[in-house]
Copies of this chain bind each other. A is one copy, B any other.
Amino acid sequence: MTDADRFLRACRREPVDVTPIWLMRQAGRYMAEYRALRARHSLLDVIRTPELACEITLQPINAFNLDAAILFADILPILIGMGLNLEFVEGEGPVITNPISSPADVDALIVPPIEENLPFTLEAIRLVRRELDGKIPLIGFSGAPFTLASYAIEGGGSKNHIKVKRFMHSQPDAWDRLMDKLAQTVGDYLVAQVKAGAQVLQVFDTWAGVLSPCDYREKALPYVQRVIERAKSTGVPVIYFGADLNGLLPLVRETGADVIGVDWRIEIDHAWDQLGPNVAVQGNLDPTLLFAPWDQLQRNVDNVLARTTGRPGHIFNLGHGVLPETPVDHIRRLVDYVHERSDNSGGS
């Protein structure tokens, strides 16, 4: 087994030499190299320039012994080609200036050919694959339909998600048409990413945790299933992640994903018991533990590893993305420590 196989083998619940690790938002503001590049280019510029997206994707790969790269991109630009005006306001996050508020708005949405909508991301994947040269696999990703619908209707982030839920409950037919268009577009996008070279796909359902089980089951899950089924038809492993899903795990099990990402608000074995033995599990260190003294951090890593010992298919990750102020040195130590601590080879 080479290092290159470790992550893909874990996705398939095959034996590995040591536990693979990658980190959500492993490319980002906590790295000086990233901040230097972003000082000269806006977020949308970086995403739309394959050479820059490639450079940022590789920054953490060059700095740490990570077992997978994840394409530097964002879940929201896919909405631009569908007809929504997206802006990233520094310090405020994404804003959609023409949010969806009526069934007519849904009907006006376009399902664009993905090669016209996001050609730069597909090109960035090709560049990254060339640079990685088989060293470690590349993860492609997309937002899930509900999460994209939430941004599209709320017009940005939201605290209580009243608008998207009101639309969902009061316009059930338009909701289905909206989710249908999003599922089609997301499915096309994921398939195109694999064609361009992505070796694993992650579906981010960032906001699904605001839903009740009843709403998740009826209004979001069928579209997740459809997207994941299409993604899996390419033959690559598919990861599904959302925060705050710990009350929904019996339903998350039904997404069909090969790997489920679990947040830090639950013991990972308790989550895995609810997900069943037929999935791999990714997670689940609290990202804020990277701000703690090393001995505290270490103790919590040991806890995650102890609770996954003997269960094939564990991929070490944080329970959510790396926070912008995270100390770089702790990222480095974390990655090396996970490899060292999980090494059961007994070799020298």
Contacts and interface: CB of A to CB of B under 8 A. Distances in A.
Contacts of A230: none
Contacts of A323: 160, 162
Interface stretch (A43-51, A98-106, A116-124, A211-219): A211-219
Interface in A291-323: 291-293, 296, 300, 303, 319, 323
Given A265-B211, A266-B213, A296-B169, A288 B161 contact: yes
A169 B291 contact: yes
A280 to B, nearest CB: 19
Given A291-B165, A323-B160, A212 B246 contact: no
Given A170-B292, A170-B293, A162 B325 contact: yes
Contacts of A319: 212
Interface in A235-289: 244, 246-248, 250, 263-267, 270-271, 286-289
Nearest to A166: B291
Interface size class of A (residues with CB under 8 A): 35 or more
A215 B248 contact: no
B212 A160 contact: no
A81 interface: no
Contact of A162 (B247, B291, B300): B291
A169 B289 contact: yes
Contacts of A246: 246-247, 265-266
A264 B212 contact: yes
Contacts of A303: 214
Contacts of A210: 265
Contacts of A222: none
B212 A286 contact: yes
Contacts of A271: 247
Contacts of A296: 169-170
A292 B248 contact: no
A77 interface: no
A88 B296 CA distance: 35
Most buried by B among A246, A271, A288: A288
A209 interface: yes
A8 B323 CA distance: 45
Contact of A288 (B160, B244, B247, B270): B160
A169 B286 CA distance: 12
Contacts of A300: 212, 214
A263 to B, nearest CB: 8
A108 B323 CA distance: 31
A303 B286 CA distance: 33
A109 B293 CA distance: 25
Nearest to A320: B160
9 contacts: A160-B323, A165-B288, A165-B289, A166-B291, A170-B296, A212-B300, A213-B265, A213-B266, A250-B270
Interface of A: 160-162, 165-166, 169-170, 209-215, 244, 246-248, 250, 263-267, 270-271, 286-289, 291-293, 296, 300, 303, 319, 323, 325
